[in-house]
Structure 1
Amino acid sequence: MRTLTRKGAATRQRILEGAAALIREHGVAATTLDDVLSETATSKSQLFHYFPGGREELLLAVARFEAGRVLEDQRPQLDDLSSWPAWDAWRDKVVDRYRRQGRLCPLNSVTSHLGDRTPGAQAVVTELMRRWQAEIATGVRRMQDAGQIGQGLDPDRTAAAILAGIQGGVLIQMSTGRTTHLEASLDQSLAYLKDSARQVCDRR
């Protein structure tokens, strides 16, 4: 991306956040460029200056923005998974985040709309999952270092399983509007980790 002035960066961010807000409220299909222009008090020439590829480039930027929000909405709890109260607080943060989001997942909506037509659309989701899994795995390693989780667990595979459970719960929520399955998946994941911790204590 070309270097922008501070004013230019602020204008681009205003367009991006305005488009993201509209998509969160109305969905991708119902959000037009004219809606974005009206919402952000932006001219068409400004929009195409910052997003020369038009609608698809803007949607890809929204996908990156929403992917970033997924992790930011879990902070600061995700940053310090170093005790069981911290893991429990993170669990509550994740559930609250998706409960507030509701049945419409803006990231899924945008990437599904872009499909294979826009290079990088699926890469946004792939990178999000990589980063998310890595942060959970870091938490598992911290607990292993503290002797709270057994060394026999592979941190990366454990994090992958937890993340898969979250994503499955979110997918069901998108269909039912309920976080029941998401909560059950997280509760079972933490119970599994805590049981590993008890096994460590039993061997001492």
Structure 2
Amino acid sequence: MTTTATQLQTIATLWPDLDNALGDRTQHAWPPPQLRSYLDALSHHDPTDAAALRALERSPDQLGTRPVPVNLRIMDTMRAVEAALHETADQIASARQDPDDTFRNHPHRWHFTGTRPGAAWTALWLSARAEGRFWPGRALTEPQERHLGHVAREALHRVETALDLAHGTRELSPNHTCQCGGRIVITGGAGDQPTARCRSCGAWWTERGVVAA
């Protein structure tokens, strides 16, 4: 099984988790929930900066802080991924699918009209194309394989990030620096212990407090 096929199958497997998370109305700007306790650790090193970061996260200007009927972050991810998968399937079918009516009712035929299949089904359809399984069409060209691989990687990254399954690193804006003036980098996700580190003085915080300063 190719890496692309595996990634697409993983998207299909994780899609029900996105559906479940869609009803979670708790909206979070960066950092994800597992990293939020780093703010408490920062307060031991620089209370002013920690307070500023908390204020930023609670600002009504942040999309995720407003009470909404669904989790907009999850919804945006689902829409973007589904659109990318549909567009890719359309492109592949348009270029490689046999137009012969003999295969019109073939179960693996991609249909451009009628109700669009869901993202999970589309991901599995694309996975089958990546594996070269039989369908009423020709095998993908190398450029098409590369494009499908890129779409699969980006889509899976979006899904894993939305579900906080991906490892992430983010440098805070210049408005929120260490007391030495250095930029702060936060890292975590994918089960890793969340940390925050100053690029200049090397101060390092974890959920348990300041490790080094």
Higher relative contact order (CA closer than 8 Å, sequence separation 6+): 2
Task: Choose between structure 1 and 2: higher strand proportion.
Answer: 2
Task: Choose between structure 1 and 2: higher helix proportion.
Answer: 1
Larger Rg: 2
Q: TM-score, normalised by structure 2?
A: 0.29
Q: TM-score, normalised by structure 1?
A: 0.30
